[in-house]
Structure 1
Amino acid sequence: MSTTAQQDSGLGQMKINRTVSERAVTYGDEITITSKLERRNANVNLIYWVAEHTPECLKPVPFASLPAQPGAEPVVTWSPSNGTAYTDISNRSEVDATPTVITVDPPLANSWEPPVTMTSRYIVECDAGQLATGGFQFDGTTRDGDFRTMGPTISVQRMGTSVFFAQPTNPEVGQQVTLRVTTSGIPDGGQVAFTVDGQNVGNATVSGNQATLPWTPSGAGTKQVRASFGQTGTHGGSVSQVRDVVVSPTNAASTVAVVAAGTPKVGLSTQLTATVSPAGAGGEVVFLEDGAQIGKAPVGEDGTASIDWVPSASGERTIDVNFSGRSGVAPSNGAIPVTVAAADPSDMATTTTLEPIATARVGQQITLKATVEVDMAGGTVNFYDGNDLIGTAPVQSDGTATLTWDPTTDGERTVRAVFSGHGVYLSSQDTKQAIITPKVVDPEPDPDPDPTDPATGSLGSLTDSLGGGAGGAGSLSSLGR
């Protein structure tokens, strides 16, 4: 909605009508100012030049081909009474633009006769509040006019802003992380303040709608991190949502070592055992043979993790182990060289068969049974639930190995049986799928049964059952007769 200011020249000969396209604007909006100079009588008054005066915070919109800087010719249109409209200034020498004044002074100025209309466009970069938009000035043959403060006044509002906090990595004490926000509406150079548990930890400068701050926590625990942009004369303030950052204690260093049981041989199962120091349950160890993963296992209370490894190639091999780390303990790596013996020509392949596993519930005992095709005693069978070792059983004289399993996790499980090999007999393995259903939880007994419920065994229901109800002759006392 436009607002208008009107001013007489004082001699009654000339009248100026000045219009701003909007009554209320927001920082960054574009407005159009139009000034119209008219005569009140027929006295001749030719116009030499006209000028718009505005506060410096109104930035003239420049030609698209010119940089947006003070002194660049603005987008301006003026129309004298001869009916010719001049737009975008074909002759730049006809217009002079400073940060506060746009003057039109064409060579044919002496031919101008009122009415004369001048229109220019501006970007509002002003502080919030009531803004006097300036005024109009002209120079003529019989009368000059200087009305630089005629207005009108418009209302300027702050531009809205927002600050969105990206979730930082959960660090440990003494580890530097980057606090990062994405902003909207905040100009480059604006300052975003970061707080941790209400205490300021630093300010960051906005650039390209981003602001980042390095932060090194000095204490462990859950920290509440927030970012905010303070209100300025041109922009509204904004505050991000709170982010919870969990700071862990400084991790202790760890070491991991690996050993291979016996002499590894192609086709025979060899147990690889990694030992983590400091000992304690948590984390896992990944085992690799010459860079290729061959298995992984969780770390137990004693700090060890083991897998079965059946070498497929002889010669020098390298076994690497990578410990993932656990709460309070940093990751670590280790390696050993091993020499794998070639299989003997007399070695015999075997087949291990794992019997199908019946569906069972969590906590219900299951008997796992594997049969090695050779009918002989010796060697062992390791049973696994995925990568977790369930247990080890010896191979009996009939070639079978059995183990009792109490599953603790429901779902479809992959159970694996690995025969270690023995003597001239090579290792083999088999897998089966097992369906483990959730544990059945009995409902809690009703602590306050309803006495009117016939299923509760109340005294009334007992009396009825003895014939003491309505129309019955019996009673509870008849039990004693």
Structure 2
Amino acid sequence: MSDKNTRRVLAGLSAFAVAAGFAVTAGVGAASAAPGSLTWDDGNSRFTRTVSNTTPNEGDIVTVSTKFERTGGVVEWLQAVKDLHPTCFTYVSGNTSNPDVKPDYVRVAGNWPVYPNISPKSQTFEFSYRVGADCERGVPLMTTMHYSGSLGDGTYQNKGPTITVSKNTTTTSLAQVAGAQVGQPTTLAATVTGGAQGDTVEFFDGGSKIGAGTLNANGTAIYAWTPGSRGAHELMARFAGTAKANGSESSKQNIEVLSSDIVSTTVIAPVTNAQVGQSTTLKATVSPTAAAGGTVKFKDGGQLLAEVTVNASGEATYAWTPTTDGNHSITADYSGRAGVAASTASATVNVAAKPVQNTDSTTALTVGSAQVSVAQTISAQVTGSAGGTVTFKDGNTVIGTATVDSNGRASISWTPAVQGQRVIRAEYSGSGTVNASADQISVAVAAAPSGGDGDGGDGGTSSAGSLGTMFGSLGG
């Protein structure tokens, strides 16, 4: 066929090309002579289109190239090349600058010669695209090209090669499940790579489906599972697959479901005659008595007063000395323990103002050298009056309470259990018309002795901190 000003529009397989024995691909689904490549002639022009990957995955980069050659005749100047691609592809780059990029094609313009017998005998135009998530899977997607030249235009419909996007390969993993109890909701979380937001994940206990969830933007689906029986359970998550992604399932996870915790209740005993500067007993009772061994945190509003161990009778007590009058919101939070659920109680305690005739006291705390596992004496000297009690604390944890003797002194034995810096506090309760006071010091607890009889010795008695720290009329 001779070159003319207007080229024939090829809309499929050219009977001439077949008769001439040229390698061609006939539209969607036809086989090509070489994977990802096809060649056809139109007059003295030969075109070879090559696709770097005809079965890409989502996110892959695919390069489509068209090679122009002259098999005879005269030179042709290529003036524009338009590469048509599926709209789900996104143009990334090409070997020619300043492209005109549209949703379904990329066009370049210039003036490139192709000679039949001298160099350059060919021109190749490459266009690279990223495969989008919205591409159909398993369906041949057409590519083709058009061009304009000095000898006329070529408009080639559905030439190919076609590109068939593969379904996503997925993986499914089930997060570790721990602490499951009969009758208590337990969160199951499965993460799927290769899925899409809104896809469904099913959860199984043994061979039985127990529920389903949908993937969020992070690729995770959750389901609140409430076990109905104790003992061994085999959990698994399955992603069934979609039109765009293959299915997958997690490995099986064997867990032990425990019996549900015993329900506990906490009650605060009524508090009467509370007064600023005077010791008032806060008492919390936790039932059943199986709750013994946990702790109760006493709070005044948002302020932590003390954390006290629950004794064998299910009781926790704390000598509280209010510093302000008015209504106080007292809470007792039981921590719970293995097999026993936590619980809480609250009460409003009215605190009266202190009498004007009250006098102030001072408390001076003395702590000797401290060593892990070595008992030592902690003493507090109260001035102002004998009587009342001193509560000793390690931070907010009560370590003991002692009565103030006739010399104004109260002492307890303390055996540190933890090495490091500790804050020891002595809180005098007040007595009669004498106001409460307190002192605290920072104590460095040394490591346990490496040998010997374990007697820490007195090491000399020294007053750490500011002796006689005056808290005065607390709240007064």
- Fold match (TM-score > 0.5): yes
Match of 2:382 among 372, 393, 398: 372
Distance 1:260 1:170 in 2: 36
- Distance (Å, rounded) in 1 between the aligned partners of 2:337 and 2:47: 80
Counterpart in the other structure of 2:39: 6
The answer on 1:357 being equivalent to 2:368 is yes
Q: 1:420 to 1:262 in 2, by over 3 A?
A: farther
Cα distance in 1 for partners of 2:315, 2:321 equals 20
**How far does residue 296 in structure 1 lie from its aligned partner after superposition?**
3.2
Instruction: Determine the C-alpha separation between the residues in 2 that align with 1:440 and 1:36.
Output: 86
Q: Tell me the CA shift for residue 315 of structure 1.
A: 4.5
Structure 2 residue aligned with 1:75: 105
After superposition, the Cα gap between the structure-2 partners of 1:355 and 1:59, relative to the gap in structure 1 and judged at 3 Å, is: same
Offset at residue 20 of structure 1 (A):
2.2
Deviation at 1:121, TM superposition (A): 6.7
TM-score, structure 1 as length reference? 0.62
The secondary structure found in structure 2 opposite 1:26 is: coil
**Is contact 2:82–2:106 with CA below 8 Å preserved after alignment?**
no
**Partner in structure 2 of residue 17 of structure 1:** 48
1:26 aligns with 2:57: yes
Distance (whole Å) between structure 2 residues aligned to residue 165 and residue 20 of structure 1:
39
* Secondary structure class of the residue paired with 2:402: strand
Residue equivalent to 2:356: 345
Q: Structure 1 residue aligned with 2:267, among 257, 273, 279?
A: 257
- State the shift of 1:304 in Å: 1.5
Distance 1:356 1:189, change over 3 A: closer
C-alpha contact 1:53 1:148 (8 A) present in aligned 2: no
Displacement after TM superposition at 1:240 (Å): 6.0
- Give yes or no for contact 1:78–1:116 (8 Å, CA) kept in 2: no
Q: Is the 8 A contact 2:370 2:446 kept in 1?
A: yes
Check if 1:298 corresponds to 2:309.
Answer: yes
The answer for the alignment partner of 2:117 in structure 1 is none
Does structure 1 retain, via aligned residues, the 8 Å contact 2:327–2:348? yes
Mapping of 1:25-424 within 5 angstroms?
25-35=56-66, 40-42=71-73, 59=87, 61=89, 74-77=104-107, 124=131, 125=135, 159=168, 161-163=170-172, 170=179, 172-188=181-197, 190-195=199-204, 201-218=210-227, 219-220=229-230, 227=237, 229=239, 235=245, 249-259=259-269, 263-279=273-289, 280-289=291-300, 292-362=303-373, 364-374=374-384, 376=386, 378-424=387-433
Counterpart of 1:18 in structure 2: which amino acid? R
Deviations 1:79-116 (A, max 9, x none): 79x869xxxxxxxxxxxxxxxxxxxxxxxxxxxxxx99
1:432 aligned residue (441, 445, 449): 441
Q: 1:51 and 1:311 mapped to 2: Cα distance?
A: 86
- Maintained 8 Å contact 1:265/1:340: yes
Q: 1:220 to 1:300 in 2, by over 3 A?
A: farther
Which amino acid letter does the alignment assign opposite residue 50 of structure 2? T
TM-superposition CA deviations, 1:385-425 (whole Å, max 9, x none): 33333333332222222322333333333333333322332
Indicate the structure (1 or 2) with the bigger Cα radius of gyration. Answer: 1
Mark the CA change 1:396 to 1:237 in structure 2 (over 3 Å): closer, same or farther: same
What is the CA-CA distance between 1:354 and the residue it aligns to? 2.0
Classify the secondary structure of the residue corresponding to 1:355: strand
Quote the offset at 1:271 in angstroms: 1.7
Q: CA deviation at 1:258?
A: 1.8
Cα gap change, 1:437 to 1:38, in 2 (>3 Å):
closer
Give the conservation status (yes or no) of the 8 Å contact 2:188–2:225. Answer: no
Contact residue 212 and residue 223 of structure 2 kept, 8 A: no
State the distance in 1 between where 2:314 and 2:422 align: 26
For structure 1, which segment, 32-41 or 431-440, has the greater mean C-alpha deviation from structure 2 after superposition?
Answer: 32-41
- Alpha-carbon spacing, 1:265–1:235, altered in 2? closer, same or farther (3 Å): closer
Per the normalisation by structure 2, the TM-score is 0.63
Distance 2:254 2:361 in 1: 56
Confirm or deny: 8 A CA contact 1:253 1:330 kept in the other structure.
Answer: yes
Q: Aligned-pair distance for 1:27? A: 3.7
Distance 1:375 1:61, change over 3 A: closer
Work out whether residues 194 and 201 of structure 1, in 8 Å CA contact, stay in contact via their aligned partners in 2. yes
CA–CA separation in structure 1 for the residues paired with 2:307 and 2:238: 46
8 Å CA contact 1:173, 1:216 repeated in 2: no
Query: For the structure 1 residues 264 and 146, does the alpha-carbon distance in structure 2 shift closer, same or farther, using more than 3 Å as the test?
Result: closer
In 1, the alpha carbon distance for the partners of 2:276 and 2:248 equals 68
Q: Distance in 2 between matches of 1:413 and 1:30?
A: 62
The share of aligned pairs that are identical, in percent, is 30
Q: 1:297 to 1:248 in 2, by over 3 A?
A: farther
Given the superposition, is the C-alpha separation of residues 197 and 403 from structure 1 closer, same or farther in structure 2, using an over 3 Å criterion? farther
* Deviation (angstroms), 1:350: 1.5
* CA distance in structure 2 between the aligned counterparts of 1:272 and 1:340, rounded to whole angstroms: 13
Residue 39 of structure 2 aligns with an amino acid whose one-letter code is Q
Q: Residue 287 of structure 1: CA displacement? A: 2.5
Mapped to 1, the partners of 2:184 and 2:330 lie a distance apart of 31
CA distance in 2, matches of 1:28, 1:187: 13
Measured in 2, the distance between the counterparts of 1:375 and 1:18 equals: 104
User: How far has the Cα of 1:5 moved from its partner?
Assistant: 2.6
Q: What is the alpha-carbon distance in structure 1 between the residues aligned to residue 90 and residue 379 of structure 2?
A: 86
Conserved 8 A contact 1:380-1:419: yes
CA RMSD of aligned residues (A): 5.1
